[in-house]
Amino acid sequence: MRVVRPASRIQMQKMPWLVLLRYALVALSSLRHFKVAWEGVLHLIHRELKILEESPTFMGSERERQEFKKRRKQIATVVLETSTGAAQTWVVQGNFTLAVAGALYAARTAEMLFGTDSLEVVHPQLLLAQIYLGLNQLHSAEELLNMVYCAACEFGPTSFRMVPAFFSMAEVFRKCGHPDSHTACKAMYTKVCDIIIRWFEQNADMTPNAEGTASPKSTASGENCKEGFAKSRLEMQEATETVRQIIEHSKSSPTESSELQSMALCAMGLIHAQTDDLELAKTYIQQAKQLCNAETGRNCRLYKKCEMFENVISSMQMKALKDDNQKSE
């Protein structure tokens, strides 16, 4: 990001006061933007950006040109991954101002690597729209609707990676304040919880084992299932924060039924089960069961699912205890 250089004393004496004031404001604004961008991501990628901006003074053989292109692509990939990771980290922490620069550099680098119409550009653009939403720039966040459609085409509407997208859409509807928007917001919140619950169901074996309880498919069916079950630490942090906000919304809204809160509590329990916080996971699942029982009774579909999830978590606890005993021996 270019910083406006201070004017000399002679130049300042020749400027009208209004132009001088405007110049000072632009310089101050540019300096502030640079400081924010530096803290947000530039301190991590400034060396790589300098290399990408450089052009070779001469071109040698075809092999040298190919090596040069390959090296630039590798550096650009590093910039893309670092910028995306930095922006996601700031979003998780709720600091959207510092997240802007990382998302912008990620979007620009993705366009440079894959082209403006490629699906690889969807994720950084979606991240940028989420940041605009956090900054209450709703006019920019409106583009999220089109980007979510593209993301759904790429990942599938039930993919775990769609959780931030549907949550961002829910926030757009929530801030509109209209009755129809409230219904759409609830539908998006429900979709987020449903994705997490389906993700756990697809990667856990719900059939009883020798002890009479269900067991995680990742421990019974090899590494292929574990790869689908495992998520990165940042993905789990983002999902945890997302569901936490849904739980708070469902508790604070007097018009909200307990159905959404039950789903959110269940989803939170499954997230903690993935992060090996099994005791807390079981607590959330039991809270979801109690709400379901009080609202619709034990014949509720979600209540039965919570029973199965509780069995899965119990099996995970038994296996963890068994592994600890073997290590101590």
pLDDT for the residue 262: 93
Residue 272, domain member (yes or no): yes
Residue 210 and residue 318 in one domain: yes
Residue 170, domain member (yes or no): no
Give me the residues paired with residue 208 across strands: 214
Residue 58, domain member (yes or no): no
Supply 70's token pair: 């390959």
Residue 116 and residue 218 in one domain: no
Residue 273 and residue 227 in one domain: yes
Residue 94 and residue 211 in one domain: no
Residue 50, domain member (yes or no): no
Residue 77 and residue 185 in one domain: no
Residue 91 and residue 217 in one domain: no
Residue 189, domain member (yes or no): yes
Supply 74's token pair: 């590798």
Residue 166, domain member (yes or no): no
Q: CATH number of the domain that 212 lies in?
A: 1.25.40
What is the tens place of the pLDDT at every residue in 236-283? 888 999 999 999 988 887 666 688 999 999 999 999 998 889 999 999
pLDDT for the residue 174: 80
Residue 114 and residue 256 in one domain: no
Residue 251 to residues 2, 69, 167, 245, 281, Cα–Cα distance (Å): 47, 54, 17, 10, 19
Locus of tokens 């002679």: 10
Within 10 angstroms of residue 199's Cβ, the number of other Cβ atoms is: 22
Contacts of 293-301 with C-beta under 8 Å, sequence gap 24+, read 294/258, 295/257, 295/258, 295/259, 295/262
Supply 292's token pair: 């379901």
Supply 209's token pair: 């084992």
pLDDT for the residue 252: 85
Domain that holds residue 34: 1-43
pLDDT for the residue 205: 57
Residue 273, domain member (yes or no): yes
pLDDT for the residue 155: 73
Residue 276 and residue 327 in one domain: yes
Q: Is 253:245 a contact under the CB 8 Å cutoff? A: no
Helix (H) / strand (E) element for 319: namely helix 301-328
Residue 53, domain member (yes or no): no
DSSP SS3 for 126 = helix
Q: What distance in Å separates the CA atoms of residue 175 and residue 177, rounded to the nearest whole number?
A: 5
DSSP assignment string, 257-294: -HHHHHHHHHHHHHHHHHTT-HHHHHHHHHHHHHHHHH
What count of Cα atoms within 13 Å lies in the side-chain half-sphere of residue 50?
6
Looking at the structure of the chain, the number of domains it has is 3
Residue 321 and residue 263 in one domain: yes
Q: Along the chain (329 residues), what's the average pLDDT of each consecutive run of 10 residues?
A: 44 44 51 82 88 71 82 91 92 89 89 79 80 79 66 76 82 74 87 92 62 46 45 83 92 78 94 90 94 84 91 89 78
pLDDT for the residue 20: 41
